[in-house]
Amino acid sequence: MPRSFPNEFREDVIRVARAREPGQTLKQIAADFGVSESCLTNWLSAADRGDGVKPGPTAAETAELREARRRIRLLEQEVEILRRAAAYFAKDLSPK
């Protein structure tokens, strides 16, 4: 499981990476902070989306979408239960 870093640490690393001097690579910055280059790249990409620099959903929008999908799944299950119950009771009420 990947290691979790505090938000303050991530923000510091992102700030340093964005303000890097010419010739300084992301790989060097990542090594200085003890994170992988791909991790730093992902953090920069997410920060750019959150700041509106790059197109794409922000973290808040992604969380909201995930919650909406979970709620839709739950409602679909409830509808299926009610549909089955209605079919069961309709069968019991049919004339004999």
Domain boundaries, the chain: 1-56
Length of the chain: 96
Q: Looking at the predicted structure, is the pLDDT value of residue 26 above 80?
A: yes
Q: Please check whether the domain covering 1-56 is classified as CATH 1.10.10.
A: yes
Locus of tokens 């010739």 = 23
DSSP H helices in the chain: 7-18, 26-33, 37-51, 59-93
Distance CA 52, CA 56 (A): 8
**Residue 53: pLDDT band with limits 50, 70, 90:** confident
Q: Looking at the predicted structure, is the pLDDT value of residue 14 above 90?
A: yes
Question: 53 in helix, strand or coil?
Answer: coil
**Residue 57: pLDDT band with limits 50, 70, 90:** confident
Q: In this predicted structure, what is the pLDDT of residue 95? A: 66
Q: In this predicted structure, what is the pLDDT of residue 68? A: 98
